[in-house]
A = this chain, B = another copy of it.
Amino acid sequence: MDAQLKRGLLDVCVLAAIKDGDSYGYKIIKDLRPYIELSESTLYTILKRLETGGMLTVRSAEHEGRLRKYYHITDAGMRRIEEFRSEWAEMISVYQFVIKEEHNG
């Protein structure tokens, strides 16, 4: 997908990936892969931003010797997803304007 189009979706996709249960970086990337591709550097940047913005909280846990950081969505994060629903309506209106055909007789 076009890099610019992705920009508005990434944050909310990451939130959606943890909204039904805590998850961690590597898993989030794999879960999102069917819908949207993102690299590790991109994801960790996003996770940091979402944490700073109070959209999620982090907890470190050891899993089979390896460190894992589990991300948990907050109320603000859930509200962000709801907000996206409203924004989608605007998106549709823009989409329809873009693909609108002129009447040619």
State the A residues within 8 Å of B (CB).
1-2, 4-9, 11-13, 15-16, 20, 35-36, 81, 84-85, 87-88, 90-91, 93-95, 97-100, 102
Q: Do the beta carbons of A4 and B11 come within 8 Å of each other?
A: yes
Q: In whole Å, how far is A50's beta carbon from the nearest beta carbon of chain B?
A: 13
For the complex of A and B, 4 pairs with smallest distance between CB atoms: A5-B8, A4-B8, A16-B98, A4-B7
In the docked arrangement, what's the CA distance between A35 and B20, Å? 33
**Neighbouring B residues of A99 by C-beta, 8 Å:** 16, 81, 84-85, 88
In the docked arrangement, what's the CA distance between A1 and B95, Å? 14
Q: Do the beta carbons of A90 and B1 come within 8 Å of each other?
A: yes
Q: Which of B9, B35, B98 contacts A84 (CB 8 A)?
A: B98
